[in-house]
A and B are shown apart, each in its own frame.
Chain A
Amino acid sequence: MSRFGNLPRRLVHLVVLLFGITLVTFFLLRLIPGDPALAILGSSYTHARATAIDISLGLNKPIWTQYGLFMDRLFHGSLGYSFFYNSPATTVILQHVPPTLFLVVYSAVLAAVISLPLGFISGLRRGGIVDQSTRVFFTISFAMPAFWLGIILLLVFSVHIQAFPISGFGSGFIGHLYYLFLPALTIALGFSTVLVRSLRASTIATMQAEFVDTARMKGISRARVLRRHVFRNAVLAVVAVYGVNLAYLISGTVLVENVFSLPGLGQLLVNSVSDRDYPVVQGVALLFAVLIVAINLLTDITQASLDPRVGQEIGE
């Protein structure tokens, strides 16, 4: 069986999944109890406006026709019209993508930088100082809401020490790095909890493997065995955890963007909820779901290309 043996089957699953995602996002809008036009317009309800919204959302047609129209528009790159911004929802959403994307990548990198050494050392020296203190630290930080941690970091590093700006996105790559440091750190700390724990466990498991003893008996120095044999294999086991949790990291951006007032998708989502801008809410949910499916696929491919055993195990 080839290395990517199960990939075709995965791709079929993927298509089914994407189809399901469109169904869920479509029916989200149908959750609105009563008359959607009334919910959107609120106190500015007039019969003419309501009819306009009904036609725009296609509510005057049978439900499967509506789904067909939704899909038709989707394939043409349209997510409907945002009454609040008075422009296509796609345009509004695309404007808010850069800060979120930057934040996600930034915090993913930061999380790796934090958790790789901590997890590895904790696994090597079980019960040592590093192990004990990271365990205590991450038990506490696991119970911290991301938005609260963000506020605490703001309080310490922006208000008292005044080392970092309170809010904003900055300009230029370096500016982004500087302005987004605290938000990215907030997300990365939450993300690291899981990474440190799994890297610690996989390091412990790898240290007990026979190939480590063999390498040592061949006379390879301890440092080299740790670096070339133990570390690489331990990290390999964490790739899947990293990918799966990267998806949850996106949830963190929603909250953290609101703490640091970053003009990203998370803030757009929350604002659109209070503005009753349903096409935008629908579109952001759809975009996030597609993003996560893409990340999961990438994780699988990365894992299969790093570790020849992966495709075979799942493929049988």
Chain B
Amino acid sequence: MSQTWATSPSEILLKVAERAAGRTRRTARRRLVLISGLTMLGIAIIAIVGAPLLVRASPTALDVLHPLVPPLSPGHLLGTDQYGRDNLSRILYGGRIDLAIAFGATSVTLVFGTVVGLVAGYFGGWIDNLLMRIVDLFFAFPFLVLIIAIIAMLGPSIFNMFVAIWITSWVSYARIMRAQTVVAKKQQYVLAARALGYGRLRVMLRHILPNTASAVIIFSMVDAIGNIILAASLGFLGLGAQPPTPEWGTMISDGQNYILSSWWIATLPGLAIVFVGVAFSLIGDGLADVLRPGDR
């Protein structure tokens, strides 16, 4: 295979230049992925937080004279539901619960799971064994089933939804972080830090954590999508937000009854979920490329 051997210095230079050009182009595209994800999420957050400034109609105000108005009607850009409530307003206000779950539930499980994984991986021995058996135990249940069971016992409410997610979904972070820590522990920079006599806490937090955190941070973006879908799923099953509180999942559930006549009630909140989900997905992909460039 002669083509892999460069025959003259100029050819080598050409190849190097080509590769460099390819790399910068890819870097630019990576940034573009991250930036477009952040932009989409930014738009969603501004629209959802600034809902009172954007829409006049209240999300719970009934208008019995105008039920099931199709989208693009005057006064109701996205139509109304079976009680004449404005869909746009309900989608924007409803997003508050889903975004709160995305950030509130994910950040707590991210921090807790990371700490557990770090401790298990660094100390090893019986601590590692005990913690990882607990993690295995949680992985034995399908998350949704376990969360539904916990909510069944605590009673359906938004707060209990948070509690159920906090109890169950730290385990993924613990598993990822443990694997990262076990590898990092044997690397020279950690050995060097320990040889310098630094305490365990310092080695864990100042040396291992900054070098391994990218994995859990990238995973947290995927997890945030999962948590939004989870919140919507519980709402859909009637185990999350309770009516008349607007929430994307409960809106889809309401709309399913009118699917034959009024398609927009069930489909539009789902598009909102997809929009926010794709935003997190793009941010995750972008972060993966920026934080760990060697992987692809």
Contact A143 B225 (CB under 8 A): yes
The count of residues in chain B whose C-beta lies closer than 8 Å to any C-beta of chain A is 47
Are A17 and B137 also in contact (CB < 8 A) when A139-B281, A152-B267, A278-B153 are?
yes
Contact (Cβ within 8 A) B137 A20: yes
Q: Which residues of A contact B140 (CB under 8 A)?
A: 17, 20-21, 289, 292-293
Q: How far is the CB of B186 from chain A (nearest CB, A)?
A: 16
Whole-angstrom distance between the Cβ of A285 and the nearest chain B Cβ: 4
Residues of A within 8 A of B84 (CB): none
Task: Indicate if the CB atoms of B232 and A145 lie closer than 8 Å.
Answer: yes
Q: Are A148 and B270 in contact (CB under 8 A)?
A: yes
A142 touches B142 (CB 8 A): no
Judge whether B219 is part of the interface by a CB distance below 8 angstroms.
no
Query: Which residues of B are found within 8 Å of A33, using beta-carbon distances?
Result: 154-155
Tell me whether B252 is interfacial, beta carbon within 8 Å: yes
Q: Are A273 and B239 in contact (CB under 8 A)?
A: yes
Q: Which B-chain residue is minimally distant from A267 (CB atoms)? A: B237
Whether A145 and B148, one on each chain, are in contact in the complex, defined by CB atoms closer than 8 angstroms, is: no
Q: Is the CB of B266 closer than 8 A to any CB of chain A?
A: yes
In the bound complex, CA of A140 to CA of B274 (Å): 7
For A66, what are the chain B residues with a Cβ–Cβ distance below 8 Å?
none
For B281, give its contact among A17, A142, A148, A258 (CB under 8 Å). A142
Output the least CB separation between A220 and chain B (Å): 17
Please name all residues of chain A whose beta carbon is closer than 8 Å to the beta carbon of B133 when the two chains form the complex: 13, 16-17, 20
Known: A17-B137, A251-B144. A281 touches B270 (CB 8 A): no
Question: Cα distance A142–B276 when bound, in Å?
Answer: 11
Cβ of B260 within 8 Å of any chain A Cβ, yes or no, is yes
User: Which residue of B has the minimal Cβ distance to A147?
Assistant: B236
Q: Any chain B CB within 8 A of the CB of A298?
A: no
Tell me which residues across on chain A come within 8 A of B255, comparing CB atoms.
151
* Minimum C-beta distance from B197 to chain A (A): 33
The CA of A306 and the CA of B116, in the complex, are separated in Å by 34
Stretch in A24-32, A76-84, A111-119, A230-238 with 4+ CB within 8 Å of B: A24-32
User: B142, A159: Cβ atoms under 8 Å?
Assistant: no
Contact of A144 with B152 at beta-carbon distance under 8 Å, contacts A289-B141, A292-B142 already known:
no
Are A248 and B142 in contact, CB atoms less than 8 angstroms apart?
yes
| Contact between B277 and A142, CB atoms less than 8 A apart | yes
Question: With contacts A17-B137, A151-B252 known, is A255 near B236, CB below 8 A?
Answer: yes
Residue ID in chain B nearest A152 by CB atoms = B267
CB of A269 closer than 8 Å to a CB of B: yes
Which of A21, A278, A289 is most buried by chain B, counting CB atoms within 10 A of its CB? Answer: A289
A148 close to B137 (CB less than 8 A) = no
Q: Please give, as numbers and ranges, the residues of chain B lying within 8 Å of A159 by CB-CB distance.
A: 259-260
Task: State A273–B144 Cα separation when bound (angstroms).
Answer: 13
List B241-291 residues whose CB lies under 8 Å from chain A.
249, 252, 255-256, 259-260, 263, 266-267, 270, 273-274, 276-278, 280-282
Please state if A147 and B252 are interface contacts (CB–CB under 8 Å). Answer: yes
What is the CA–CA distance of A255 and B68 in the complex, to the nearest angstrom? Answer: 26
**Roughly how many angstroms separate A39 CA and B232 CA in the complex, as a whole number?**
26
A157 to B140, CA, bound (A): 35
Counting CB contacts under 8 A, is B179 at the interface? no
Minimum CB–CB distance for B230 against chain A, Å: 9
B176 contacts the other chain (Cβ, under 8 Å)? no
Taking the nearest CB of chain A, how far is it from the CB of B271, in angstroms? 9
Is the pair A139, B278 in contact by a Cβ cutoff of 8 Å? Answer: yes
A residues lining the B interface (CB < 8 Å): 13, 16-17, 20-21, 24-25, 28-29, 31-33, 39, 139-140, 142-148, 151-152, 154-155, 159, 247-248, 250-251, 254-255, 258-259, 269-270, 272-274, 276, 278, 281-282, 284-285, 288-289, 292-293
Besides A140-B278, A247-B142, A276-B152, 17 more A-B contacts (Cβ < 8 Å) are: A21-B137, A24-B137, A28-B150, A28-B153, A31-B153, A31-B154, A145-B236, A145-B252, A155-B259, A254-B145, A255-B144, A270-B148, A273-B156, A273-B239, A281-B148, A285-B145, A289-B141
Name B's A-contacting residues (CB within 8 A). 133-134, 136-137, 139-146, 148-156, 225, 229, 232-233, 236-239, 249, 252, 255-256, 259-260, 263, 266-267, 270, 273-274, 276-278, 280-282
